[in-house]
Homo-oligomer: A and B are copies of this chain.
Amino acid sequence: MTQTKGRASLEYSNPPRIIGAASIVGSKEGDGPLGHLFDHIEQDSKFGKNTWEEAESELQLQTAKKAMEKAGMNEEQIRYLFAGDLLAQGIATSYGLMELQIPLFGLYGACSTCGESLSLASMTVNAGYAEYAMAVTSSHFASAEKEFRFPLEYAGQRPLSTTWTVTGSGAFVLASKESAAARESSVCITGITTGKVVDYGVKDSMHMGAAMAPAAADAIYQHLMDYGRTPEDYDQIITGDLGSIGQTILKDLMLERGIDLDNVHDDCGILIFDSDTQDTHAGGSGCGCAAATLAAYILPKLERGEWKRVLLVPTGALLSKVSFNEGQSIPGIAHGVVLEHC
């Protein structure tokens, strides 16, 4: 039963179903083009807590609970959690999901973590290691600015190449094909392509799209080669948070390899904000960007059959403030997840 495809991909023999997906976001995301689609828009940016980090923990916990509620599950039924965030040592996840008392695999793939968590959760369910598993990721504008850039009070000018970290979380309950609950869903994960670290030498932490686009190009190209497919085999190829400038770079890099993404590519960072009116410059970013957009916008379209097959490619910039201050470049990574109406 070989399920490996090419160098870096898997094609599942028992594609796991997504039986519950939830998205919770902040008010700015609620004001954006996808505002009417999220499960909940929280007006209190502290989510009732005292610090930005606790706020993100609470956001992640509420979203995980909402996904379980929508799946008709409780935490006793979820065998494994695959989760992560952008903060140092993954504290939004550790403190946020502790209450659930589910065996946890903590992950870090920067903003690609949504793809990493869905990859590992679907590998786990497809292999029969769990009937139900959950993938959760989050980001918070204020905790991320504090972690990576300047204090908010500094009010630094943001260059036009910057993206705006999404305050948001997405959680997904995956079920094995044979499980009773699987019948309720018509979206499955049919395969994955796992990315490697790609470094083109970008050193500007205010230009993440440029840092991540080469990794996205690498993952998409690898996916198409491994599967022997072309972009026409997908209704959409959607990256995580390249933003508008990153999108241009991605398309150029793919054209150099003879692949035209023009009519098939979109990006969660472009979808989630209206950059003309919301002052978000190149778009949205953060672990929560791809996760919330997937739950609120992409999965419902697949569920309804408007799209038959989507390649989701969450993208991550692998820097820390230490590596940035020490003058290191910003490598990227991206993980592809094949979502199908089934």
Contacts and interface: CB of A to CB of B under 8 A. Distances in A.
Interface in A69-109: 79-80, 84, 86-91, 94-95, 97-98, 101-109
A323 interface: yes
A2 interface: yes
A166 interface: no
A88 B88 CA distance: 4
Contact of A87 (B84, B107, B196, B320): B320
B108 A107 contact: yes
Contact of A88 (B1, B102, B322): B322
A108 B110 contact: no
A4 interface: yes
Greatest chain B CB density within 10 A among A107, A197, A318, A320 is at: A197
A65 to B, nearest CB: 16
A3 interface: yes
Contact of A105 (B101, B104, B120): B120
Contacts of A323: 53, 89, 91, 95
Contacts of A194: 80, 103-105
B108 A89 contact: yes
A196 B104 contact: yes
A124 interface: yes
A135 B50 CA distance: 38
A259 interface: no
A147 B108 CA distance: 17
Nearest to A123: B129
A320 B246 CA distance: 31
Contacts of A109: 105-106
Query: How large, as a class, is the contact surface on chain A?
Result: 35 or more
A162 B80 CA distance: 32
Given A194-B105, A196-B101, A91 B129 contact: no
Contact of A4 (B120, B130, B319): B130
A278 B323 CA distance: 31
Contacts of A333: 94, 104, 106
A139 B331 CA distance: 21
B104 A197 contact: yes
B98 A197 contact: yes
A117 to B, nearest CB: 10
Contacts of A299: none
CB-CB nearest 6 A-B residue pairs = A88-B88, A103-B194, A127-B127, A89-B320, A94-B318, A98-B197
17 contacts: A7-B103, A53-B322, A80-B194, A88-B89, A88-B322, A89-B108, A89-B323, A91-B322, A94-B331, A98-B331, A103-B194, A103-B196, A104-B196, A105-B119, A105-B120, A107-B107, A107-B108
